[in-house]
Amino acid sequence: MKLTEYKLDELYKIDSGINTTKEQAGHGNPFLSFSTIFNNPILPEELPDKMDTSVEEQDKYSILKGDVFFTRTSETLNELAMSGVAIKDYPGSTFSGFAKRLRPIQNDKTYDKFMAYYFRSAYFRKIIDYKAVMTLRASFNEDIFSYIKVILPDYDHQVKAGDLFYNIECKIRNNNKIIEKIDKLTKLTYQYWFLQFEFPGKSGKSYRKNTGKMCWDSTLKRNIPVHWKAGKLSELIESIKTGLNPRDNFTFQKDGNINYITVKNLSSNGNIDFNKCDKITQTEKDIIHKRSDISIGDILFASIAPLGRCYLIIDQPEDYDINESVFSIRPNKKTVSSEFLYLLFTDSSFINSITNKSTGSIFDGIRIKTLLDVDILIPNKEVIDCFTDNVKKIFMFKNKLINENQKLTELRNYLLPLLMTGQIIFK
């Protein structure tokens, strides 16, 4: 297989995005924002943002199949020139002034789906780090663009490799959609049982709708089912621990293969983004684990805003550990299950209550002592056990999809440099 070196300006024409006002935002036509580019190597089917733009602006700042978008500025080099590639036309759309558009000026040297992953590869990131200009901010400009050279395989190889990567991406995205639906389902079930009190009563019928007995609680200032009580969150928790920050404890090693989980890796749908984790070695993990002691059934809890990002550990955590900003919360199994406690932590009413108690000058955060002192409603154990039996298999299936995504991501990351450099070829 032949590899050819090109200057980027032999392959693409670079243009800046549209400058907009606050009044234009939130309505009108589809708009490609900085965050959408940053988070999507391949742009999503529908752009999530809107901008009120004219027909002339839509023509000048258009988004067409094959276009590559780079984030233009960043506080740090590792977030500069993150790319998102359009694999279809987006009629009526425009793109942010905080981005640069690279429009192909050829049709037989770059394949959009291949370039989407090429521009996110470790190889290309090294080029950006080397070429970028650091003043007060990192900046990707026309000068850098004209200096960059890339080495590409032939077009047919790009098509086969790009389609393979895209199929993996589609599987990951589909799994994420299912994970989001599962998370919504379990949260709705939790709300139905423990906020609306429509759990199955002794007759098997919904408790509150069928005149289940309620009583006034002066602590919570609301009616609650009889045999339930108000209490402190500490009654549901056996222990809260944290991981470690590097500082004087350890240093990151280049040969690490264990994921180091920070708050940025915890998502709002109960997932961990392993693809964006820093790496540590087994030696560093052993140091961290003496403090974190994470294990099956524990809940990882982001202590920094936005609160409510949690992860329920279902498999033994052999290939990751946590930093100091992540709490490891172990339920008191005599009073509560891991599944119930996870859904309590991710419920909006609980998030609102702890957000009001959060402190911090730069990032709003919650302290362990403050968290343990939160007033909560404690259902009787019989209802919690019944609920847990209903949702446990759903959590297991969700975890299976999360693990599958991690393996697919690892496979893609392993194959990418080999296919880019021709060490693996298609026959």
Please tell me the predicted confidence (pLDDT) of residue 320: 94
Checking if the pLDDT of 30 tops 90, the result is yes
Task: Please name every residue paired with 272 in a beta bridge, in sequence order, or none if there are none.
Answer: 266
Does one domain contain both 214 and 356?
A: yes
* Same-domain check for residues 259 and 111: no
Q: Indicate if 202 and 318 belong to the same structural domain.
A: yes
**What per-residue confidence (pLDDT) applies to 363?**
53
User: Do 241 and 359 have their domain in common?
Assistant: yes
pLDDT of residue 381: 94
Q: What is the CA radius of gyration of the chain?
A: 25
Q: For residue 269, is pLDDT > 90?
A: no
Q: What is the pLDDT of residues 127-139, one digit of tens each?
A: 776 655 544 455 6
**Pair of tokens at residue 195:** 């906020």
Which comes out higher in pLDDT, residue 367 or 248?
367
Is residue 158 a part of any domain in this protein?
Answer: no
Final residue before a domain boundary, out of 153, 188, 206: 153
Model pLDDT for residues 275-286, shown as the tens digit of each residue: 778 889 999 999
Work out the average pLDDT over 87-103. Answer: 96
Q: Based on the domain organization, do 127 and 247 belong to the same domain?
A: no
At residue 282, φ and ψ (nearest 5 deg) are: -65, -35
pLDDT band of residue 365 (cuts 50, 70, 90) is: confident
Q: Which residues of 92-114 are buried (b: 16+ CB within 10 A; e: fewer)?
A: ebbbbebbbbbbbeeeebbbbbb
166 assigned to some structural domain: no
| Average pLDDT value over all residues in the chain | 89
Q: Provide the pLDDT for residue 361.
A: 47
Q: What is the mean pLDDT of residues 189-201?
A: 94
In a shared domain, residues 278 and 148: no
73 pLDDT higher than 60? yes
In a domain, 361, yes or no: yes
> In 10 A of CB 25, how many CB atoms?
14
- Predicted pLDDT of residue 134: 47
Q: Which domain holds residue 132?
A: 3-153
pTM for this model (two decimals): 0.82
Please tell me the total count of domains within the chain: 2
- How far, in Å, CA of 101 to CA of 72, rounded? 10
> Is the CB of residue 124 less than 8 Å from the CB of residue 78?
no
Q: Say which residue, 11 or 267, is predicted with more confidence.
A: 11
Q: What is the average per-residue pLDDT within 92-106?
A: 95
The Cα 342–Cα 187 span in angstroms is 10
Q: Which residues pair with 3 in a beta bridge?
A: 153
Tokens at 416, concatenated:
């990418």
CATH number of 317's domain:
3.90.220.20
Cis, bond preceding 306 (omega within 30 deg of 0): yes
Q: What percent of the chain has pLDDT over 90?
A: 70
At residue 362, does pLDDT exceed 80?
Answer: no
Q: What pLDDT score does 251 carry? A: 76
pLDDT tens by residue, 391-421: 999 999 999 999 999 899 889 988 988 888 7
**Lowest-pLDDT range, 29-38, 217-226, 319-328, 410-419?**
410-419
Would 352 be classed as within a structural domain? yes
Mean pLDDT confidence for 312-341? 95
Residues 140, 208, single domain; the answer is no
pLDDT of 374 > 50? The answer is: yes
Reported as a pLDDT band with limits 50, 70 and 90, residue 254 is low
149 and 180 inside one domain: no
Domain assignment present for 161: no
pLDDT at 58: 97
Judge if 58 and 203 occupy the same domain: no
Query: b vs e for 382-402, b when ≥16 Cβ sit within 10 Å of the residue's Cβ?
Result: ebbeebeeebeeebeebbebb
326 and 271 within one domain: yes
